[in-house]
């Protein structure tokens, strides 16, 4: 059987693409290497599809449908209280604060779910829409006829043919490497994440030890040289808590030069925090060791060329991250081409921009003139935390408010406080809260997304400005400021 589309990799983007393509009537095959879908998925995400994909109702509907079908999603479990921990250079917890309770972000539903459950649910939707799923099958090569990719070859030597192949096979993309579009990711821009899952004897014990904490932010010096790291803790029914990304956005190269991996940093940080609690209380219920480790990296800037005749590279494989969005964009882009039957390199070249979120597409031609200093800043009191994080991509923010980098930085610093810290008063939340949170949003997100979208945002006027701002305040961030000790 010849398929219209083969999608390699049933992750969030692959299965989203499969859903939309199958729904539009294309013969779609989704190939996955693990025995069951979701086996290799890790971590948890807070989804607010209504905000993130505000102009794509179909995708919002799909995501919400998938999320709501997750069997053990216990509303509130992953989406209740949020606590922020700040750790200073000596790894002491110096400040803890509660933030707004999720459940709703503005007018939109928000859910924290495990990516594994989410992907499984999403694949079911894709299958229901008509996509065929083939698990336990690793793709090792592509079928080449001249310069055209005509399908894939599995490890058993089976050839599966299709008009178009979509490679959504993750960061270490076999296909992108095989066809020569990916040589090797840059060690300086790949960021590292590490996580663990802990099993407590009961949910009560879990909450006792992790205190319903969902987000923790580690202070300066712990993730050099990008001095801020964050991590998510996601309690899950049955007393299991998964902890992710304590060293997020730290380039691999800095880990290597500091002679430590994300796990050592993680142990220094998280274990310390948990240890405090354990030492102060009977430790029977505190597990000896994590039941699971997980590790990943975030690839560098998007692939220069994510397409060739009969093939496009989608999602993490092409370093356009994000959950579901990249898959939907790919499906949307290829639909008219498949209808015409034109999968030539020329026709697919439009994917270079189509793969990007709309708000980033116009940024290849950023100029200083466009973002003049005299533009008024805009009141951001209506901004939700999710939006802040979302807009802290920088480019989207500046586009929306037509402001300069400095103005954006200032606005975000101010806007971060009432929403994230729960109080607009500097007296209440402390200078530390203001600065650290503002800096976190700016440094982490912008640095990271600057890394990701470097080729697009590489306006020489922008990046140095942000770096300069961060450097200017570096000393201040590093000063030890002790506030309310949580324990």
Partner 1 sequence: MSKWIPVTEYFIEIDSEKCTGCGNCVVICGGEVFEMKEKKAVVARIEGCLECGNCEVVCMADAIRFHIPKGGTGIVYECG
Which two three-digit tokens encode residue 426?
């500097």
Which of 44, 94, 162, 303 forms a contact with partner 1 (CB under 8 A)? 44
Task: Work out whether 297 is an interface residue with partner 1 (CB under 8 A).
Answer: yes
Task: Work out whether 260 is an interface residue with partner 1 (CB under 8 A).
Answer: yes
Q: Which is nearer to partner 1, 225 or 372 (CB)?
A: 225
Query: Contacts with partner 1 in 151-180 (CB under 8 A)?
Result: 154-155, 169, 171-172, 174
Task: Work out whether 415 is an interface residue with partner 1 (CB under 8 A).
Answer: no
Q: Which of 284-290's residues contact partners 24+ apart within 8 Å by CB, and which partners?
A: 285/200, 285/201, 285/202, 285/205, 285/208, 285/209, 286/200, 286/205, 286/209, 287/198, 287/199, 287/200, 290/196, 290/197, 290/198
317 close to 173: Cβ distance less than 8 angstroms: yes
Name the residue among 285, 151, 307, 121 with its Cα closest to residue 206.
Answer: 285
Q: Which is nearer to partner 1, 65 or 261 (CB)?
A: 261
Task: Work out whether 41 is an interface residue with partner 1 (CB under 8 A).
Answer: yes
Q: Which is nearer to partner 1, 252 or 439 (CB)?
A: 252
Task: Work out whether 71 is an interface residue with partner 1 (CB under 8 A).
Answer: no
Strand partners, 88: none
Task: Work out whether 190 is an interface residue with partner 1 (CB under 8 A).
Answer: yes
Count of residues in the chain: 487
Task: Work out whether 392 is an interface residue with partner 1 (CB under 8 A).
Answer: no
Least Cβ distance, residue 134 to partner 1 (angstroms): 9
Task: Work out whether 424 is an interface residue with partner 1 (CB under 8 A).
Answer: no
Task: Work out whether 98 is an interface residue with partner 1 (CB under 8 A).
Answer: no
Which of 12, 26, 40, 310 forms a contact with partner 1 (CB under 8 A)? 40
Preceding omega of 225 cis (within 30 degrees of 0): yes
Task: Work out whether 126 is an interface residue with partner 1 (CB under 8 A).
Answer: no
Task: Work out whether 296 is an interface residue with partner 1 (CB under 8 A).
Answer: yes
DSSP state of 32: -
Label residue 437 exposed, middle or buried (CB < 10 Å: 0-12, 13-18, 19+): buried
Task: Work out whether 323 is an interface residue with partner 1 (CB under 8 A).
Answer: no
Which of 283, 291, 461, 482 forms a contact with partner 1 (CB under 8 A)? 291
Which of 13, 28, 33, 97 forms a contact with partner 1 (CB under 8 A)? 33
C-alpha R_g of the chain: 23
For helices 12-23 and 325-340, what crossing angle results, to 10°?
A: 40
Nearest-angstrom CA–CA distance, 140 and 138: 6
Task: Work out whether 135 is an interface residue with partner 1 (CB under 8 A).
Answer: yes
Which of 1, 146, 180, 259 forms a contact with partner 1 (CB under 8 A)? 259
Task: Work out whether 210 is an interface residue with partner 1 (CB under 8 A).
Answer: no
Phi first, then psi, for residue 86 (nearest 5°) are: -115, 135
Task: Work out whether 237 is an interface residue with partner 1 (CB under 8 A).
Answer: no
Nearest-angstrom CA–CA distance, 161 and 142: 9
CA dihedral 45, 177, 309, 451 (to 10 degrees): 50
Least Cβ distance, residue 484 to partner 1 (angstroms): 32
Least Cβ distance, residue 227 to partner 1 (angstroms): 20
Nearest-angstrom CA–CA distance, 167 and 169: 5
Task: Work out whether 52 is an interface residue with partner 1 (CB under 8 A).
Answer: no
Residue 153 parent element (H or E): strand 148-154
Which positions touch partner 1 (CB under 8 A)? 33-36, 39-44, 114-117, 135-140, 154-155, 169, 171-172, 174, 184-185, 187, 190, 192, 194, 197, 199, 234, 236, 240, 242, 252-253, 255-256, 259-263, 291-297
């Amino acid at each position: 059987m010849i398929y219209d589309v083969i999608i390699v990799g049933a992750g969030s983007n692959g299965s989203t693409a499969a859903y939309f393509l199958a729904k539009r009537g294309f013969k779609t095959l989704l190939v996955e290497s693990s025995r069951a879908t979701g086996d290799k998925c890790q971590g948890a995400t807070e989804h607010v599809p209504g905000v993130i994909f505000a102009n794509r109702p179909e995708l919002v509907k799909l995501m919400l449908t998938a999320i709501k079908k997750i069997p053990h999603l216990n509303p509130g479990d992953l989406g209740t209280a949020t606590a922020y921990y700040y750790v200073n250079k000596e790894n002491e917890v110096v400040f803890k604060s509660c933030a707004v309770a999720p459940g709703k972000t503005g007018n939109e539903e928000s859910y924290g779910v495990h990516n594994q459950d989410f992907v499984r649910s999403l694949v079911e939707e894709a299958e229901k829409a008509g996509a065929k799923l083939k698990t336990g099958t690793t793709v090792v090569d592509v079928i080449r006829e001249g310069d055209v990719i005509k399908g894939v070859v599995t490890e058993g030597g089976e050839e599966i043919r299709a008009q178009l192949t979509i490679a959504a096979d993750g960061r270490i993309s076999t296909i992108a490497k095989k066809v020569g579009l990916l040589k090797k990711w840059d060690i300086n821009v790949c960021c590292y994440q590490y996580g663990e899952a802990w099993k407590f004897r009961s949910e009560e014990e879990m909450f006792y030890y992790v205190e319903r904490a969902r987000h923790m932010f580690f202070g300066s010096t712990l993730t050099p040289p990008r001095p801020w790291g964050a991590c998510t803790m996601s309690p899950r029914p049955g007393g299991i808590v998964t902890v992710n990304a304590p060293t997020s956005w730290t380039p691999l190269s800095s880990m290597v030069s500091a002679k430590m991996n994300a796990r050592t940093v993680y142990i220094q940080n998280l274990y310390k925090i948990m240890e405090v609690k354990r030492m102060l209380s009977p430790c029977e219920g505190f597990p000896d060791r994590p039941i699971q480790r997980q590790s990943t990296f975030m690839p560098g800037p998007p692939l220069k060329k994510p397409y060739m005749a009969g093939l496009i590279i989608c999602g993490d494989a092409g370093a356009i991250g994000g959950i579901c969005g990249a898959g939907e964009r790919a499906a949307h882009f290829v639909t008219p081409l498949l209808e015409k039957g034109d999968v030539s390199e020329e026709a697919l070249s439009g994917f270079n921009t189509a793969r990007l979120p709309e708000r980033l597409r116009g940024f290849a031609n950023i100029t200083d003139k466009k973002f003049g200093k005299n533009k008024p800043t805009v009141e951001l009191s209506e901004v939700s935390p999710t939006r802040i994080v979302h807009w802290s991509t920088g480019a989207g923010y500046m586009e929306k408010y037509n402001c300069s980098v400095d103005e954006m930085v200032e606005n975000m610093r101010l806007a971060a406080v009432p929403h994230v810290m729960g109080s607009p008063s500097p007296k209440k939340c402390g200078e530390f809260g203001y600065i650290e949170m503002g800096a976190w949003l700016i440094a982490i997100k912008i640095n990271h997304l600057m890394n990701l979208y470097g080729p697009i945002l590489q306006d020489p006027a922008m990046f140095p400005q942000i770096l300069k701002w961060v450097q200017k305040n570096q000393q201040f961030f590093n000063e030890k400021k002790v506030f309310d000790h949580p324990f």
